[in-house]
Structure 1
Amino acid sequence: MSSENLEEIVGPMLSAEDEINTDVDSEDEINNVPAESGVLVYGLGIYGDLDNFRCIVCKMVPFSKIYQCNNGHLFCPGCYQMRVLDKMLGSRMGTCSQCGVRIYRQRVNRNVDVERQLAEVGVACEKCDMHLPRCLLRLHSLLDCCNRLTTCKYKRIGCKWKGTVGVLEEAHNENCEFRHKKAEELLEELRKMTEKRDKKTALRVNVMKFLQLPQITARMVHLNPIDETFSPNIFTTCQIFDAFNRRWFVEFMWRTANLADVPNEEETDPCTLLFQLCVDSTATERTPLGLSYTLLSCSYSDVRFQTNLCMKHDFSRDNPNGPVAIIYENSWYNINKLLNKRGFYARLLMARV
């Protein structure tokens, strides 16, 4: 597979200035989180407010590169990539969604001036109200904020506590049950952790084997922020596309703890994001179509998806829904922010088997 074809499947390589949360473990609930938006304090001057810098497709204010069409309409890097590379858009491919002007892949039009303006804008942290430049907001929220979440120092031997740094953290560490457990009591916890790690390693090996299959088709999946309307505990169709002469639906579900509609504690209540691939049962044949597929987190997304792979599923009119896979686990607060405020990009890789 050539480097050009690989780039079309998994996205372009990122430079250091554009990496967004790519160096964290996909199961790290503290650091693998959507970016904070911040509250505008000062800056922008003649440019007005942040609304003038929103991507014309997803309506988000980017944190990294910013592109534009020849008429000056702004795109976040993810939407720009989709407009140029995504063949599902058909006649709209390579055109500005607002004015229709042609966008050429070979003539990259990046607006460095707007990037600089956004980086220097003064914002206030939403959790501690500290004022700082927008380019430092993400690092502050993860490393310096006095109200950030942290884990117990005994996490490596099984403690699952999460809470705010400071007094609560110190109080928990002093009274953590894992602090006083004997070695034989920890063996079962360590066995479970080792078993989970081995399963994850085996799954990654299978994904690497899948990527070596001779014929893989790729589809870009973009979940736009849904503005507080992504209801929990219900599968929602987020993308429709055609492949292998059939119509497909990409569905996601935000599953809450105990299927609750309201959290007890937004910052710590555990939730999961589920993914499912479905075929249009009304327009497909009864003859099964065997597919192997995986959903990968993509360039410019705030979060990394957990490793997932469907080794084989026979899609047919009588069996239209693929298996459900967990792709992200975090608190109510962070999953709500991801779905309703930030959105994400992904690559769906499919191979006929």
Structure 2
Amino acid sequence: MSSDTEAATSSTEMIAETSDNTEKMDEIDEPETKRRKLTKNNEMDEKKNRLEDRLGGILCCAVCLDLPKAAVYQCNNGHLMCAGCFTHLLADARLRDETATCPNCRVEISKTAATRNLAVENAVSELPSECQYCGKEFPRNTLERHEDQMCEERISGCKYSRIGCPWRGPMHESKQHEQDCPHPRRTGAEVMEALQVIDQRVAEERKLYENIFELLGYEKITMNDLQLKPYRTEEFVHRLYYETSRFSAFNNQWVVKARINNSQKDPTQSSERDMTYQLILKTRTSCPLNIHFVILHGPFGDMKILPRIYRFDFTEDENESPYVALSLPDTAECNRLLAAKTINFRFIMFLA
């Protein structure tokens, strides 16, 4: 009996040992790619459960579903919108002659009906975000400085780009490239093409400044701080346009009129938006008026504009200048102006 028991025990131990050896062999024989895949899946599951990722889904904009980069607005029911989407909603409502509403709950929103949420802005600024160049995570309030100044993987150009070198690459490779760059050893005739492009750009800037100083020497100069207010045309489709009140200059009455996307039928269907304006003489003139005019943001407005001087000869038959570009930097600035009740600017006129 004892020998049978010992045999059974020995057999059980051998089976258990064989099982352990089999598991160890399976672990050894498991492919490396499979282990990496399992490890990666576990890391992704862990990442999904991180607090910052869950907060990112809660604090995102209700329109674009992305985390805000600057100001955060909320409707009366607390739904969040980034500054870009908020002004876009207000601009669309202005173009359609409708009341702007929250995309979630349809409650009315406006510059006064919506409020900034500073707590969300501060929370979002502390959430981590990946650098677009190196892939490392940094708090969002320091990410821009890292990408612009510190990241070694950020895209950089060659210091000889002014003489035609087209190289662009990671910042840490720029020194080695500049040592090997062939452009410093090119002849003057070979780099003339690149220098001509630079000269043309400088000439355009110089022409603008020379024109300004020349106009400042004119005897008759007038300056008015004006407001563009929104109106609707009397057509079947009521298009939006802007117009100032009448103002006096050079013993005449004038009006500035502006329109969106050159009176496009439905500007809300376009992702790109711009404004053009014209100067209109409202009184009759007995002699031609050679007028130069320019729009600036002025002391009462915050319009971001690139000053550009225009000229038109007003006569008894030609009392409206053609529509010219209001030189805004981008569509976002145009939406911001449309979202406001009025557009304030300074208008300077020169009479030759």
Larger radius of gyration: 2
Q: TM-score, normalised by structure 1?
A: 0.47
